[in-house]
Chains A and B, each alone.
Chain A
């Protein structure tokens, strides 16, 4: 199983770099958030420094945008799985001693890796916008792990939902139902303290909130939030189990 997982995972990662267009999309989208949304909002945020906890809105936004990008990589994992089904590559893989679970794991880890590629680029972009990051090595490690957990969790969720699908459009539709509500009902773009009660409830169960808060505590205060990290690790574990079980049983071949 190790050999197959390594082969398929390497294929996912290599294909990302072979296909510059996908790479460009994954990087450009969060960069746009930082550049346009961040810059456009920066002036008003200065007046609300007490709310945001910083007078530099991009500093506030960076952890949030990184969190939501981990959410959107799931879609690409689903798309690449559907492409394999449609082009028959799934059959090529399965007519070898490779199980459906291993295919799932390789796709989930591949998508998560695509997510991680964005971290250095986004951090560099934020630095260019004047953000200074004073984070300890342990802090960095926790942050990256938290982002990895988020990416694995959502990739697994996407793969579980689209396990039976062979339609190109499904990942986009699923994405609309997952990405937008979770992004706006989280603490990614603004603090959740001002949310109405019903939205606070959603925010409490929204993993993106935890990823954003964990990153923000590190960026603004250099503090590690163990509770948020625990929640994210649990989320990743649950979703991995879900995707594993669903794929073994329901992953369609063609």
Chain B
């Protein structure tokens, strides 16, 4: 791969499952360019098309139309070349449980047609503190250890690009933190481009140099976390008061861009909350204020701004299910 060639290039790529009339358009004319050596995040809700994009770029699924290039090779016409240069970390850890850590690495070496892989494998196991467990069956490993081994498999053949599909989904908080450190560490230590998908905003913010926000199969925004946040050049102030203030009073204050009601609260979009809050406190008697909260520009507000929904909204059904089970328990007792 010559200098200047992006690690991943996607032009006008679409993927349709099922027939042209009845099918689902999982990816809708996606364009992407991932520079070499960066950690690139695909951020979007469940079902947005993140996993589909990984499947298409790794050659697991066919492309319906458009073009994808990974490590300088066409994913459709030069699939074997691509697959020799990429690593893959699954959302659910996929290892051969009947095998030891070392045997899993051995198999990966065979699949990548490697010779003299042992030193590299030992180095990786050492890096991930798994060396003393190399002959243990992986079914005995903790989730964190399994993740680490899976990342070792992905790095064994010195790939240019690693795909990580929802790397921290379903992990507890300490393991997630550990994995964040690993992802940043691996990227530095092994000089590999990382493309990860996530629906955790804080994960994308903490890890990624570049982010593409994907929703319903379309890329709706792309840039560094700070560039994306700069798109929403405003703070949101949420205000709850005991008496009725009218919108006009709030709108008249300097720096206010927009005012709208949300339930009993006022939502006020302002250029700078630091400048606005003293003005507000001078205008509204403090004993009338029940609560003020300030939301600084975040990827959350970016997503809200672009789609009108919060990214976490798809978790609602889960909450309903929990509520349902709680009711069931109460009904039974």
Contact = CB atoms under 8 A, between A and B. Distances in A.
A50 to B, nearest CB: 51
Given A14-B98, A18-B98, A95 B110 contact: no
Interface string A69-91: 00000000000000000011101
Interface in A93-146: 93-99
A101 to B, nearest CB: 12
B60 A3 contact: no
Contact of A19 (B83, B98, B103): B98
B86 A15 contact: no
B144 interface: no
A97 B83 contact: yes
B146 to A, nearest CB: 13
A213 B110 CA distance: 40
B60 A11 contact: no
B88 A7 contact: no
Interface residues of B, number: 26
B99 interface: yes
A8 B111 CA distance: 8
B90 interface: yes
Contacts of A15: 96, 98
A97 B113 CA distance: 8
B60 A95 contact: yes
Nearest to B163: A95
Contacts of A10: 107, 110
A221 interface: no
Contacts of B113: 3-4, 97
A4 B90 contact: no
Contacts of A249: none
A83 to B, nearest CB: 11
Contacts of A95: 58-60, 83, 86, 88, 163
Contacts of A65: none
B107 A253 contact: no
Interface in A1-35: 3-4, 6-8, 10-11, 14-15, 18-19
Contacts of A14: 98-99, 103
B111 A93 contact: yes
Interface of B: 58-60, 80, 83-84, 86, 88, 90, 92, 94, 96, 98-99, 103, 106-114, 153, 163
Given A4-B111, A87-B94, A91-B90, 5 more contacts: A7-B109, A7-B111, A92-B90, A97-B84, A97-B111
11 contacts: A3-B110, A11-B99, A88-B94, A91-B60, A95-B60, A96-B83, A96-B108, A98-B83, A98-B111, A99-B80, A254-B60
Closest 7 pairs between A and B when the two form their complex, measured CB to CB = A7-B110, A96-B111, A3-B113, A95-B88, A88-B94, A18-B98, A97-B80
Interface of A: 3-4, 6-8, 10-11, 14-15, 18-19, 87-89, 91-99, 253-254
